[in-house]
Amino acid sequence: MTVALALTASVSACSGDDEPEADPAPPASSAPEAAAPLETTARLGTVVGRLGRPERARLQETVTGVLDAWIDAAYLGDFPRTDFAGAYPGFTQGAAADARADARLMSNQQVGSRVDDVVAVRRQVVVDALATRKRAVAVTARFVLAMDLEGDVQRTDRVRGRLFLTRADGAWKVVGYDVDRGVVR
């Protein structure tokens, strides 16, 4: 994990212009009940090394898919619930164990039984990559998730940070993270 973090240090050194927006957009007050789920807004940030356009697009799509799978499993879905056993798809075994220990931060496990619904109001990711020999070898996915919690718990939370990914067994896997969570309102 130290190697991945060292690699991502150079990858995540970007200007503030490349950061996902920090504050969530206010939720629409007259949104229809059956509105489609919010999709993640994704873009490629800094790429250190050479990586062709098709590979860049494929990398952005694949890493966004890993992030989305985690967000959907850990923060969204059917509520109320207490089962978060599958909350860390795309994580290595070690990273998933760390995330389970940080469940208050890395999922809605702490409030899952006290909410009736969770609605994402912002989903953004910027994918930074380190490439060698025209192949991405390490990725930092900088993200922001804002979500409205409804039920006994009524508030908007923001989760933001970085997921560090490398390829393992032919797939991009989360090997570490630097995430914080706070109440917006």
Q: Which residues contact 81 (CB under 8 A, 6 or more apart)?
A: 112, 113
Q: Is the pLDDT of residue 16 over 80?
A: no
Pair 142, 120: CB distance under 8 Å: no
Q: Is the pLDDT of residue 13 over 50?
A: no
User: How long is the chain?
Assistant: 185
> What would the pLDDT profile of 39-89 be if each residue is shown by its tens digit?
999 999 999 999 999 999 999 999 999 999 999 999 999 999 999 999 999
65 touches 163 (CB < 8 A): no
Q: Which H/E stretch holds residue 35?
A: none
Residue position matching structure tokens 């989305």: 68
Global pTM reads 0.82
Residue 114's identity, in one-letter code, is R
Q: Are 107 and 179 in contact (CB under 8 A)?
A: no
User: How far apart are alpha carbons 172 and 156 in whole angstroms?
Assistant: 30
DSSP 8-state secondary structure symbol assigned to residue 86: T
State how far the alpha carbon of 57 is from the alpha carbons of 48, 61, 85, 99, in Å.
15, 6, 31, 28
State how far the Cα of 78 lies from the Cα of 24, in Å rounded to an integer: 22
pLDDT tens readout for residues 140-185: 999 999 999 999 999 999 999 999 999 998 999 999 999 999 999 8
